[in-house]
Amino acid sequence: MDATGEDIYEQTRQLLEPGDIELRGVVVHTDLKNDQEAELNRVTIEVGETIAEHAETDADTYVYSGTDDPEFGLNQHQGLTIEGDEFVWECQQLLREGTFDVVFYYEDSADTGAILEDLDGSDYEVVDVEAP
């Protein structure tokens, strides 16, 4: 994703275009700056766990990060099932105008209403993004 180019919501919609699985997205706007990596990682894990709770899987999940693989983006993370490494969610952390926005996408079969409800009232703005 080009953090300085097109509108973040349009870029997210493009990521959701039909493929092997139907996807849904949320954009998490934070006020976290580049020197707040630990807090950014906490937010990423928290939102990812919320998505996993409402995904159509009963399997336990873990976070696979860009720091684990040279072919994976540094600010890119995935929630995968422990058994089978099945996709649950993925995100990209984007530094935009001095603060981070985190774009998550996940299978559209997850309960997006429950995800948004659980994230409502958090310290960051969460915006639902549907496929085009």
**Location of structure tokens 């994703």:** 1
Q: Is residue 120 part of a domain?
A: yes
Greater model confidence, 70 or 114: 114
Q: Is residue 102 part of a domain?
A: no
Q: How confident is the model at residue 2 (pLDDT cuts 50, 70, 90)?
A: very low
Give the mean pLDDT of the chain. Answer: 85
Q: Look at the chain and report how many structural domains it folds into.
A: 1
List pLDDT tens digits, range 24-57: 999 999 999 999 988 998 999 999 999 999 998 8
Q: Is residue 83 part of a domain?
A: yes
Q: Is residue 75 part of a domain?
A: yes
Q: Is residue 79 part of a domain?
A: yes
Q: Is residue 49 part of a domain?
A: yes
Q: Is residue 117 part of a domain?
A: yes
Q: Is residue 131 part of a domain?
A: no
Q: How confident is the model at residue 58 (pLDDT cuts 50, 70, 90)?
A: confident
- Its domain, for residue 58, covers 8-96+107-124
List pLDDT tens digits, range 64-101: 886 666 766 667 888 999 998 898 999 989 888 899 99
Gap between the Cα atoms of 82 and 53, Å rounded? 14
